């Protein structure tokens, strides 16, 4: 039995390792294209892009590790089942559950690893990534801007830029709301460029060939049109847009910080629902590897097809269903409906189904 257990565990670890490497590579590849775009088209330094790349890796592991665990168990047991090895093991009178106990132990270890990852590394990486993006917006404003969208990154002003090429802007519209029931000041320019002052968290915008609405001294509620060849504007970053004073979101907090925030809100008689939901989400989603392996063992045992495509489709289906259920219960939690229990219902539902199937597959 020891030889069989070692053999199956080795098979599982090989498939798990390959799946983890492939999944992580594919997800990184998709983001590498975005990072390359920042370097080539936005003139962002390799140092900043490298930081963003490193900060992304822990976040990806939170998803690739559970999926790789599911892939490992389905592919390894699916192959053993299709080769009739599972039938031979049963015929020998060996208890399948005892034989596959290392799978459960590995799943538990992976889940505890993800608890640490979700508690410490991912929040810190996420917060550091947000700070890096804010710094990027100060040092190289065009890198953080998208053409064809309304931009609210600056105090008082809303920008709309039709085209961006490097540091050059084309067809610019700037709106400055004056308050309720008052006309909005509008500035239009054919061209422009940013001049950044990172130490002051301000950006100067040089506009070329355009018009500006200026306040009529005789009637402040009215504007008159001013035509210009060159026009300079000082744009201050919106509040909390400096990396030194950026606030932490619930996703940026460790479990201890979330608990402190919850206690603080309770003492002020304020609902801590978002923080309470995030706290239990961090822990609950960390046990996805355990849930996936409990569900994957019986499904792998009853698989009799040699084609791996069937298992890949099954992997995709299980992962999709799990995370959709999880998101659904998260929405209920944020609405105050069973805020603690809701975050665990996806795990409880899938794990219970896995245990029922496991019992049936072992007696059949």
> 338 Cβ partners below 8 Å, 6+ apart?
332, 345
Cα–Cα distance list, 130 to 42, 253, 281 (Å)? 18, 13, 21
The pLDDT tens digits for 8-51 are 899 999 999 999 999 999 988 888 887 787 777 666 778 778 88
Q: Residue range 347-351: average pLDDT?
A: 94
Looking at the fold, whether 42 and 9 belong to one and the same domain comes out as yes
Asked if the model's pLDDT at residue 238 lies above 70, the reply is no
Q: What was the pLDDT predicted at 256? A: 93
pLDDT bracket for residue 52 (50, 70, 90): confident
- 8 A C-beta contact, residue 331 and residue 269: no
Looking at the fold, whether 24 and 63 belong to one and the same domain comes out as yes
Percent of the chain with pLDDT over 90: 35
Candidate from 16-25, 153-162, 274-283, 346-355 with smallest mean pLDDT: 153-162
Residue 350 to residue 105: CA distance in whole angstroms: 18
Average per-residue pLDDT for the chain: 83
Asked if the model's pLDDT at residue 140 lies above 70, the reply is no
Looking at the fold, whether 277 and 222 belong to one and the same domain comes out as no
219-236 and 202-216 strand pairing: antiparallel
Residue 179 to residue 230: CA distance in whole angstroms: 27
- Total structural domains within the chain: 2
The pLDDT tens digits for 114-138 are 999 999 999 999 888 877 776 666 5
Looking at the fold, whether 121 and 10 belong to one and the same domain comes out as yes
Q: What was the pLDDT predicted at 295? A: 93
Looking at the fold, whether 172 and 193 belong to one and the same domain comes out as yes
pLDDT bracket for residue 240 (50, 70, 90): very low
Residue 284 lies in a domain: yes
Q: What was the pLDDT predicted at 305? A: 53
Sheet (strand 219-236) strand order: 150-151, 158-165, 168-176, 185-197, 202-216, 219-236
Asked if the model's pLDDT at residue 221 lies above 90, the reply is no
Percent of the chain with pLDDT over 70: 85
Looking at the fold, whether 254 and 126 belong to one and the same domain comes out as yes
pLDDT bracket for residue 237 (50, 70, 90): low
Q: What was the pLDDT predicted at 343? A: 92
Looking at the fold, whether 13 and 132 belong to one and the same domain comes out as yes
Of the residues 210, 236, 262, the one at which a domain ends: 236
Looking at the fold, whether 87 and 36 belong to one and the same domain comes out as yes
Termini Cα distance of the chain: 20
Residue 243 lies in a domain: no
Helix axes 46-82, 308-334, angle to 10 degrees: 120
Residue 194 lies in a domain: yes
158-165 and 150-151 strand pairing: antiparallel
Asked if the model's pLDDT at residue 312 lies above 70, the reply is yes
Looking at the fold, whether 114 and 8 belong to one and the same domain comes out as yes
Looking at the fold, whether 255 and 184 belong to one and the same domain comes out as no
Looking at the fold, whether 133 and 269 belong to one and the same domain comes out as yes
SS3 340: coil
pLDDT bracket for residue 306 (50, 70, 90): low
Residue 13 to residue 110: CA distance in whole angstroms: 12
Residue 162 lies in a domain: yes
The pLDDT tens digits for 148-207 are 877 777 778 888 888 887 778 899 998 888 777 677 888 999 999 887 766 666 678 889
Residue 337 lies in a domain: yes
Residue 149 lies in a domain: no
Give backbone dihedrals phi and psi of 329, rounded to 5 degrees, phi first: -70, -30
Q: How many CA atoms lie within 13 A of 283 on its CB side?
A: 15
Q: Which helix (H) or strand (E) holds 151?
A: strand 150-151
- Among 9-23, 92-106, 203-217, 331-345, the range of highest mean pLDDT: 9-23
pLDDT bracket for residue 244 (50, 70, 90): low
Of the residues 193, 209, 236, the one at which a domain ends: 236
* Parent domain of 308: 2-138+248-363
pLDDT bracket for residue 112 (50, 70, 90): very high
Residue 71 lies in a domain: yes
Asked if the model's pLDDT at residue 2 lies above 70, the reply is yes
Of the residues 236, 262, 281, the one at which a domain ends: 236
pTM here is: 0.75
pLDDT bracket for residue 107 (50, 70, 90): very high
Residue 113 to residue 19: CA distance in whole angstroms: 18
Asked if the model's pLDDT at residue 71 lies above 70, the reply is yes
Q: Residue range 203-232: average pLDDT?
A: 82
Looking at the fold, whether 223 and 188 belong to one and the same domain comes out as yes
Residue 145 lies in a domain: no
- 8 A C-beta contact, residue 211 and residue 200: no
Q: Which helix (H) or strand (E) holds 170?
A: strand 168-176
């Amino acid at each position: 039995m020891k030889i069989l257990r070692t053999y199956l565990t080795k098979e599982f670890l090989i498939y798990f390792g390959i799946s983890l490497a492939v999944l992580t590579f594919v997800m990184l590849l998709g983001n590498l294209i975005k990072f390359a775009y920042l370097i080539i088209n936005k003139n962002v330094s390799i140092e900043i892009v490298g930081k963003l790349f490193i900060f992304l890796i822990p976040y990806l592991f939170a998803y690739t590790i559970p999926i790789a665990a599911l892939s490992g168990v389905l592919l390894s047991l699916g192959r053993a089942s299709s080769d009739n090895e599972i039938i031979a093991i049963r015929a020998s009178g060996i208890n399948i559950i005892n034989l596959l106990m290392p799978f459960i132990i590995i799943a538990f270890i992976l889940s505890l690893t993800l608890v640490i990852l979700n508690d410490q590394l991912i929040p810190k990486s996420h917060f550091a990534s947000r700070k890096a993006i804010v710094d990027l917006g100060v040092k190289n404003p065009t890198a953080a801007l998208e053409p064809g969208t309304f931009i609210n990154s600056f105090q008082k002003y809303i920008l709309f830029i039709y085209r961006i090429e490097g540091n050059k802007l084309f067809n610019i519209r700037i709106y400055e709301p004056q308050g309720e029931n008052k006309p909005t000041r509008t500035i239009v320019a054919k061209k422009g460029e940013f001049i950044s002052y990172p130490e002051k968290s301000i950006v100067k915008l040089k506009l070329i060939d355009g018009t500006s609405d200026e306040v009529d001294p005789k009637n402040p509620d009215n504007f008159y049109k001013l035509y210009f060849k060159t026009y300079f504007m000082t744009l201050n970053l919106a509040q909390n847009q400096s990396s030194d004073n950026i606030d932490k979101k619930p996703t940026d907090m460790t479990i201890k910080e979330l608990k402190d925030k919850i206690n603080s809100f309770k003492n002020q008689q304020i609902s801590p629902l978002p923080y309470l939901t995030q706290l239990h989400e961090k822990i609950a989603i960390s046990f996805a590897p355990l849930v996936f392996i409990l569900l994957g063992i019986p499904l792998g045992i009853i698989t009799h097809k040699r084609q791996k495509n069937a298992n890949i489709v099954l992997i995709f289906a299980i992962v999709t269903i799990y995370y959709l259920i999880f998101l659904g219960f998260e929405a209920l939690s944020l609405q105050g409906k069973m805020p603690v229990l809701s975050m665990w219902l996806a795990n409880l539902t899938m794990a219970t189904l896995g245990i029922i199937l496991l019992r049936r597959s072992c007696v059949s």
